[in-house]
Amino acid sequence: MEQLNELRQQIHELQSERLTIIRQRCSREQVKAMLDSWLATAEKQGHAAPQLAVDRAMAGQAFAPLYAHGNAAVIQSPGAAAFSLELGPLLISILGKAAIKKSLLPLVEQLPDGLAPEAKAQRQAAIDAELLRLETEEEARIVELEQAGDHILRRPDARPEIILA
């Protein structure tokens, strides 16, 4: 019985690790790549807006190079209007991409590091293989104990394909 409990403990730990990996956030490198991608897009947008303002001024229209355009999602309740505005392009056009990156990068470094996609897949595969071995051993142990006259309950999440193998 002690051996069975140890096996179940190991199974539980591996299942928890597997769940953690599945739920795990992206790795720091992935978040950095997202940041770079966002900075590149925002930089392009940031250059386009003042350029458009200059072009309009040349066409005789009002000069408004830092005018922020946004979208308001009006909720149907009196007095409430959710409003969001992406200021990234505007700030990048004024402060430059490097300054924005310098202020955001430390936040990424503070994140707990996650596994990179390949490492994640490898660890998951290793856990699956180990779980299969442990659960098969657990079932064999239960059968032994049952044959010795003990009544052992199987785990509610025990896999039918292993029990009935």
Partner 1 sequence: MNTDKLLTLIDLHNGLKTAYRHLAQRYRTAVNDAAKLSAEMTVEVDDLAEQIILKPIDELAAMAAEELEAAGLAAGQIRRLVAARRLAARLQSETEAQAEDLKQSQIVVDHLVEYARQRGEPVNL
Residues near partner 1 (CB under 8 A) are 151, 153-156, 158, 160-161, 163-165
Helix intervals (H) in the chain: 2-23, 28-58, 88-95, 97-110, 117-147, 160-163
CB 78 within 8 A of CB 64: no
- Give the shortest CB-154-to-partner 1 separation in angstroms: 5
Give the length of the chain: 165
> Nearer Cβ to partner 1, position 23 or 151?
151
Contacts of 75 (CB under 8 A, 6+ apart): 81, 82
- Kindly state the smallest distance separating residue 74's Cβ from partner 1, in Å: 48
CB of 138 to partner 1, least distance (A): 13
Nearer to partner 1 by Cβ, of 21 and 162: the residue is: 162
